[in-house]
Structure 1
Amino acid sequence: MNGPLARRRVLGAVAALGGAALLAPLEGVARAAESTGARWPTQFPLPNGFQPEGITIGKSPSACFGSIANGDIYRASLATGRGRVISQGGGAAHPVIGLKIDRRERLLFLSGGASREIRVADVRSGKLLKTFTVGSDSTFVNDVILTPGAAWFTDSFAPQIYRLPLDRHGEPGDAVTTVPLTGDWQQGPSFTANGIERTPDRSALLLVNAFAGGGGLMRVDPRTGVAGGVDIGDTKLPNGDGLLLLGRTLYVVQQQQNAIDVLRLNESGTRGTAIARITDPRFKIPTTAAAWGDRIYLPNARFDAEPTPDTTYDAVAVDQV
C-alpha cells in the first residue's frame, strides 16, 4: 500500500475505532497442468466490503488475502474462485496489509499497518499465535518476506525494517529486532518503504522506496541495514507496491498506475532493466502479486472508491512475462 489516499483510508479507519543468514532460494513455484489451469478463472470475487491489500500463495493452488477493513484472512481456490474466511480479524483497528504463508502452509505472517502489529496465525485453525507491537506512534507495518532465518517487515513511515527470527523448523522467535536503514536510504515525508523481496543471489533484500529519485528500488544488506540504490535506468516507481521475484524477473505492482512493471535483474540485484509493462482493463488499483503456474494473481484494492460494506472487490490473474 502506498500514496496519500491509501494512507488516509487505513489510518482513518483506525482513528475512527480508536545479522542474518543468506536469504532463501526461491521456493519452487508449483505448476498446475496446462489442461486444467487453462480452465481456471482469471477473475473471481472477494467478499463485499473486504478491502483487500495483500495476497500470498503457497505450494497448493489457493490464495490467501488480507483485509484492511477488519483483519480477516480469506482463502480462495484458484481452481474454482470460491473461498471462505479462515481467520477472523480483530476489527478495523487491526488490519492486515501484507501477508506471507510459510513453505509448509502452516503459518501466516501478517503486517498490521498502523496497528504497529506483527502477527503470526495458524493457517488451519485461524488462531492468532503471536503478536508483536513494534516501532512508534507513526509506524506503519506494510509488507513481509520470509527467509530461512527470519521474517522481514517494512515500515512505511520510518527508515527501518523489522526482523522476526525463525528457527530451522520455521517457528518464530519471541522478540522482533529493529534494523535501521542507512547508507543511501532516503526517507520521504509520507509513504516511503513498501514492498520487499530478496535479490536473485539471495544475499540481500530489495525494497521499494517510493521517494528516492522519484521512486525506485533499494538493495539492503540484512546484516547491517546499509542500503544502496538499484540502477533501473529511466524506470520510476512512485507508486511501487508489492514485489514478486521469479528467478531474475522482478514484477513491481504500480498500484495507482494500474500496471505491473517488469524488470530483469542481475544476480546481485544491483541493476535492473525494464523488459515489459503489464496493463489490463480489469485492474482497479492492484496492490500486491503472487504466482501460481504461469499466472500472476493480484487483488484489486480499489483505493479510488470510498469503501462501504457493500463495495465489491475481486482478484485477477494475468500471464507471466
Structure 2
Amino acid sequence: MTSRTRNHPQPTRRTLLRGAVVAALAATTAGVSAAQAAAWPTEFPLPDGFIPEGITIGRRPYAYMGSRANGAVYRTDLRTGKGRVIHKGTTGTVAVGLKLDENGLLYISGGGGGTARIVDSHTGELVTTYQLTGATGHFINDVILLGDRAWFTDSSDAVLYGIPRGRVGTVRRLRLGGDWVQTPNVYNANGVVGTPDGRGLIVVSSSPGRLYHVDLASGHATEIALIDAADVANGDGLLRIGRTLYVVQNRLNLISVFDLDTRARTATLRRTITDPRFDVPTTVARWADRLYLVNARFTSPQTPQTTFNTVAVPLYLATN
C-alpha cells in the first residue's frame, strides 16, 4: 500500500509517539496485538453493484457498509477481508450513513426516502423505521450517536433530526440557525460528529465547503474558522478522534486532517492524506492505527456490474 500527503507541517516526535501509543492500546484492547493488526489486508472487495456510501466499525474488528442500491448492509472481517450481506435490504430503499452502537444496533440514514432505520447487526433484522420527513426534496445523509439520541443530517434542508436510542420515542427536529447558510440545489449538511466536549455537533456543509459547530439546545450554528485551508469543498464523511478531525472530500480523493481547538471554534489544517486507490471515497471509520474508507465511485457507471471496494490508510493524529 502507498499513500501520499500534501505539503503541510510534519508531525513532531511527540505526535508520532502519541499516535503509536493510541494505536497500540486500541489494538490491544480489542484482543489483538499491533503486529497482528498490521498484517491484516489493506483493501477488500464489496459485491459488484453494491453502490456503497457509509462505513462504521464498532468495538470488534468488523466493518459494516451500507448500499445505495437497495439498503442492504455488508459486514467484512477486517482480519481476513472476507464478508457477507447481513441485511438484504428492500427494493426502493437506500443505506447512506450508518453507525453501530455498543448493543450491536445499526442506525441507518435513508437518503431520499426520508427515513432513519435501526437494524440488529447480530440477526440482520429490521428493528424499526422512523419516517423523519414525509415531503419530497429531502435527503437524510449521515448519522452520529451522541448521548441518548442518534442525530441525522438532511442535505436538502437546514434541519437535524434526533431519534431516541434504545427506546421508542418522538423525533426531535432541530432547525439550524446562526451562521448556517443553506444553498439551493446542492448538498448542504452532510457528515456529522460530536464535539470534543460531547455537548454539541460538528457538521460539514459540502457546498461551498464549511464546517459548523451546532448547539444542541438551540440549533445555533457557528462557522468554524479554518486555518491554513480555504474550505472543505466536497466534504462528506467526518471522523473525530480527540481533537483531530478528519474530513473526507469525496471528489477530491483526499482526507483533510484538522486540529480543533478546545471549544471547536477553529480548525487548523495539519495534513492531507490521499492514495492512488481512492476512487471518490465518501466516509471513513477507524480501527487501531488505520482509517478505512469506502470508494463510492460517483464518477463511474453505477450499474449491477460496477465493482466496489474498501481501502485502508495509516492513521494520523493531528493534536500534540
Same fold? TM cut 0.5: yes
State the distance in 2 between where 1:242 and 1:52 align: 13
Secondary structure, in 3 states, of the residue corresponding to 1:256?
Answer: helix
State the distance in 1 between where 2:96 and 2:183 align: 20
**Residue in 2 aligned with 1:306?**
301
The question of 1:228 aligning with 2:222 is answered: yes
The question of 1:102 aligning with 2:101 is answered: yes
Distance apart, 1:175 and its partner CA? 2.3
| Alignment RMSD (CA, Å) | 1.3
Confirm or deny: 8 A CA contact 1:68 1:96 kept in the other structure. Answer: yes
State the distance in 2 between where 1:263 and 1:294 align: 17
State the distance in 2 between where 1:147 and 1:103 align: 12
How does 1:16-31 map onto structure 2 within 5 Å?
Answer: 30-31=26-27
The 10-residue stretch of structure 1 (29-38 or 188-197) with the greater mean CA deviation from structure 2:
29-38
State the distance in 1 between where 2:241 and 2:230 align: 19
Count of residues in Structure 1 that have an aligned counterpart in Structure 2: 286
**Residue in 2 aligned with 1:44?**
44
Distance apart, 1:45 and its partner CA? 0.4
Distance apart, 1:221 and its partner CA? 0.4
Matched AA of 1:203: R
State the distance in 2 between where 1:283 and 1:258 align: 6
**Residue in 1 aligned with 2:290?**
295
State the distance in 2 between where 1:131 and 1:298 align: 26
Q: 2:187 aligns with which of 174, 184, 191?
A: 191
Confirm or deny: 8 A CA contact 1:132 1:175 kept in the other structure. Answer: no
Secondary structure, in 3 states, of the residue corresponding to 2:94?
Answer: coil
The question of 1:260 aligning with 2:259 is answered: no
**Residue in 1 aligned with 2:71?**
71
Confirm or deny: 8 A CA contact 1:300 1:314 kept in the other structure. Answer: yes
Over residues 164-196 of structure 1, what are the superposed CA-to-partner deviations in whole Å (9 max), with x where a residue is unaligned? Answer: 122xxxx04332121100111100111100000
Matched AA of 2:288: G
State the distance in 2 between where 1:216 and 1:172 align: 34
State the distance in 2 between where 1:235 and 1:198 align: 23
Runs of 4+ in structure 1 over 2 Å off: 172-175
How does 1:95-134 map onto structure 2 within 5 Å?
Answer: 95-104=94-103, 106-134=104-132
**Residue in 2 aligned with 1:55?**
55
* Unaligned residue ranges in structure 1 (runs of 5+): 1-28
Secondary structure, in 3 states, of the residue corresponding to 2:79?
Answer: coil
TM score, norm. by length of structure 1: 0.87
Secondary structure, in 3 states, of the residue corresponding to 1:103?
Answer: coil
Secondary structure, in 3 states, of the residue corresponding to 2:118?
Answer: strand
Confirm or deny: 8 A CA contact 1:164 1:172 kept in the other structure. Answer: no
Confirm or deny: 8 A CA contact 2:146 2:198 kept in the other structure. Answer: no
Secondary structure, in 3 states, of the residue corresponding to 2:173?
Answer: strand
Secondary structure, in 3 states, of the residue corresponding to 2:282?
Answer: coil
Over residues 120-173 of structure 1, what are the superposed CA-to-partner deviations in whole Å (9 max), with x where a residue is unaligned? Answer: 11111111111111222111000000012110000000000001122xxxx043
State the distance in 1 between where 2:200 and 2:225 align: 15
Matched AA of 2:195: T
Q: 1 or 2, which has the higher strand percentage?
A: 2
State the distance in 1 between where 2:187 and 2:243 align: 27
Q: 1:202 aligns with which of 198, 201, 222?
A: 198
